[in-house]
Amino acid sequence: MLNTAIKAARRAATVINRASFDLDRITVSEKSHNNFVTDIDQAAEQAIVETLLKAYPDHAILGEESGPTANLNDDSEYVWIIDPIDGTTNFLHGYPNYCVSIALQQRGVITQAVIYDPVRNDLFTATKGAGAYLNEKRIRVRNPDRINKALIGSGHGTEPRDLAEYLRMYEVVAARCHGVRSSGSAALELANVAAGRVDGFFEKGLKIWDIAAGSLLVTEAGGIVGEFSGESEYLNKGDVIAAGPKVFAGMVAVLKPFA
């Protein structure tokens, strides 16, 4: 199943990379304020869906662009969760920070994860219970002994009220750590936490396709993923903190008032 997901991610990346050479020809529409979808998102998702269903025709799919397949319900044993381009705004502007995210949820538990960065050719993979990998090399979260030694990734929604709340969160986190970065791709930031490139990540209002694959990468790399309160319903709520255990505790202490 992991190999099939890798194949699907690489097929999507072929579509994305081809389009990246001629961004002016991309068709763009706005789903909500500053929240865009392109014909490339849709074509990349179609490439993923076709690859997955060819191998597993009975599996259900939840895609960011195409939504749920007709067979997706509470009794679905296997559900593929897809974000064809996480970081579409970056992609549209030629800013090289976006990725393909694919996860498999089995009986409500994320068991397989692939995040592929087509710009850097970085392939992040994880299988539940078998560790997390970057380009086939085992990765681990960094775990400084306290938050004031940490570099923290972050993100925010596109509505004005989301930005206002983010600026308040940014202020309290930035005052307590080495620095805060916002890259525009939650899935890729979660992968970066798993790889030890950043020490933690926080964002509110995410969707399950933003979180699913990255959350498994983080936990399989020895980290913790939770809500701002520290609880574990982040896939449903969409409010996420991810970090090594010590930094996670420090981030929850700082961000709990925003839960």
Mean pLDDT for 183-210 is: 97
Residue range 151-168: average pLDDT?
A: 92
Q: What pLDDT is stored for residue 90 in this prediction? A: 94
Average pLDDT, the chain: 95
Q: Is the pLDDT of residue 180 over 90?
A: yes
pLDDT attached to residue 1 = 97
Q: How far apart are CA 221 and CA 131, in angstroms?
A: 6
Strand partners, 145: none
How far apart are alpha carbons 61 and 49 in whole angstroms? 8
Nearest one of 141, 201, 210, 206 to 169, comparing CA atoms = 201
- Non-local (6+) Cβ contacts of 178 within 8 A are 148, 149, 150, 151, 152
Distance CA 99, CA 44 (A): 11
pTM (two decimals): 0.95
Mean pLDDT, residues 94-99? 96
Report whether pLDDT(14) > 90: yes
Answer whether 191's CB lies under 8 Å from 214's CB. Answer: yes
**% of residues, the chain, pLDDT over 70:** 98
pLDDT at 33 (0 to 100):
67
Mean pLDDT throughout 183-194?
A: 97
- How high is the pLDDT of residue 25? 82
